[in-house]
Amino acid sequence: MASGIGGGTSGLAARQADLVAALVADGPVPPGFDPALLDATRRALLRKRAGEAAKVWPLLAASLGAEWPRAFAARRAGHEPVGALRDGWDIARALQRCGELGTGAAAELAERETAFRYDGHSDPRPRSRSRVRRMIAMLTGRP
Amino acid sequence: MAVAGVAEAVAVAAVAERHALLPAGVGVGWRPEIAGWVAGLPGPAFCEVIAETLAPAAPPRGVVELRERGIPVVPHGVRLSLGGAEPVEGSRVRHLAACAAALQAPLVSEHVAFVRAAGHDAGHLLPVPRTREALDVLATNIRRTQAELDVPLALEPIAALFDWPDDEYSEPDFLTELLERTGALLLLDVANVYANAVNRGQDPEAVLDRLPIDRVAYVHVAGGGEHADDPGIYHDTHIHPVPRAVLQLVERLVERTAGPPPVMLERDGRYPPAAELRAELEAIAAAVGRPAPGDTAVAG
């Protein structure tokens, strides 16, 4: 699963890549590391990402309430960090596909789908300047 | 005797110079979410802003207003990856330098950490192995960064839940060697010292005794706690209140420094009501023995 990250067995660069893979991409625990502490780190990173995504997707996070960190972890574990905007976007789309997206969260998703073109693989691109301005105004609460 | 006296005077002067980079007192990490609250503080000693969130050509209004009030703002980098085996990216270094220039900052800071490897991002600060190889990597990246900067660089040791299996140095020894080799200053995060010591089963105060605190430029304080999923592990979260034990460690630090160092609160989420944030600043001020922002009387 971690193929593509790391791959080498010697040298600091390869060892750092293997560690990153273990923490964010379901890679194996590199030799000599404490598996329980790496796992605690992996879960702490997911909680931190969930908190960051909640700032960008407040209605999505609110729709899941106290379950948000767990729901986030369940869907994003093994996916390397791609930024709070994409993390939340992928979750919102997945929930929508299963018909589990709440009304407010659906409106939040629709707003972003209108403002950005997101292919699910690379950073969302603005569809037009005026829409981006509206988007920024909405996110910052400033006209 | 005379030589020793001169050396001592030079050392004291060097410490004074480091402290003079920022006014002694209590500051706070500026974040967009608490911009209004920070703007309403009568007088934070200084602020810090995450460099990667700042556009040097157009800093946020709140940050500009702080500068107009004469309050120093320190750009704090989180994505340079100075401990990464790959060379530090020139564009990131130039951005940090541009932030310093735009804010007329007296210094900038970054971490003893790596955040990405082989093009993949951890999304977080990760520890480097405390080895000679990693020291070389860090020193090279730090010197490359310093070469682009017009102001001093302070380095912050991070909180980490795990260590590498092949550590050759203790954390204080590793840090001392790194600062000696690079001439960098220390951004001491007391909460990180507390977290690492507690999680390694060490006495935080004993760790403090071995750190190069004569090189402290300024100090971070942040909150944390245990999580239900990981009983027995202290997480440095920046989204919880500052525990009493961390404030007590600040008191122990101040006992060991020549004068009260500049200290600031880092809060990165789950922002409490203004009164609670204010109380956190006052508690930090009391621990340092300095007035809280806006107070005229010395607290504590």
Say which of A6, A32, A140 has its CB closest to residue B118: A6
- Candidates B52, B88, B124: best to mutate against A (most CBs of A within 10 A) is B124
Looking up tokens 């410490």 gives: B15
- Residue ranges per structural domain of chain A: 1-33, 36-140
Q: How much is the pLDDT for A7? A: 39
The chain B residues in contact with chain A (CB within 8 A) are: 32-33, 84-86, 114, 116-118, 120-124, 126, 128-129, 133-134, 137, 160-162, 164-166, 227, 229-230, 233, 235, 237, 239, 269-270
Q: What is the pLDDT of residue A37?
A: 97
Quick one: closest CA in B to A47, which residue? B237
Q: Is residue B6 part of a domain?
A: no
Task: Print the domain residue range for B253.
Answer: 27-288
- Amino acid letter, A128: S
Q: Does A45 touch chain B (CB under 8 A)?
A: yes
Supply the CATH number for residue B177's domain: 3.20.20.150
Tell me whether residues B270 and A45 touch, CB distance under 8 A: no
Residue B63 belongs to a domain = yes
Domain assignment of residue B37, yes or no = yes
The model's pLDDT over B168-210, given as tens digits with 9 standing for 90+, comes to 999 999 999 999 999 999 999 999 999 999 999 999 999 999 9
Q: What is the ipTM of this complex?
A: 0.90
- Residue found under tokens 């690492």: B196
In a domain, B3, yes or no: no
Q: Could you read off the pLDDT of A68-97 as tens digits, one per residue?
A: 999 999 999 999 999 999 999 999 999 999
- Average pLDDT over chain B, rounded to an integer: 93
User: How does pLDDT run across B227-282, given as a tens digit for each residue?
Assistant: 999 999 999 999 999 999 999 999 999 999 988 999 999 999 999 999 999 999 99
B246 contacts B190 by C-beta, under 8 angstroms: yes
The answer as to whether B261 is a domain residue is: yes
Cβ–Cβ under 8 Å, residues B45 and B22? yes
In a domain, B223, yes or no: yes
DSSP string covering chain B:
-HHHHHHHHHHHHHHHHHHHTS-SSEEEE--GGGHHHHHHSS--S-EEEEGGG--TTS--HHHHHHHHTT--EEEE-SS--TTSSSPPPHHHHHHHHHHHHHHT-S-EEEEESEEEETTEEEEEEEPPP-SHHHHHHHHHHHHHHHHH-SS-EEEEEPP-S---TT--S-HHHHHHHHHHHH--EEEEEHHHHHHHHHHHT--HHHHHHHS-GGGEEEEEEE--B--TTSTT--B--SSSPPPHHHHHHHHHHHHHSSSPPPEEEE--SSPPPHHHHHHHHHHHHHHHTSPPTT--SPP-
Q: Are B210 and B194 in contact (CB under 8 A)?
A: no
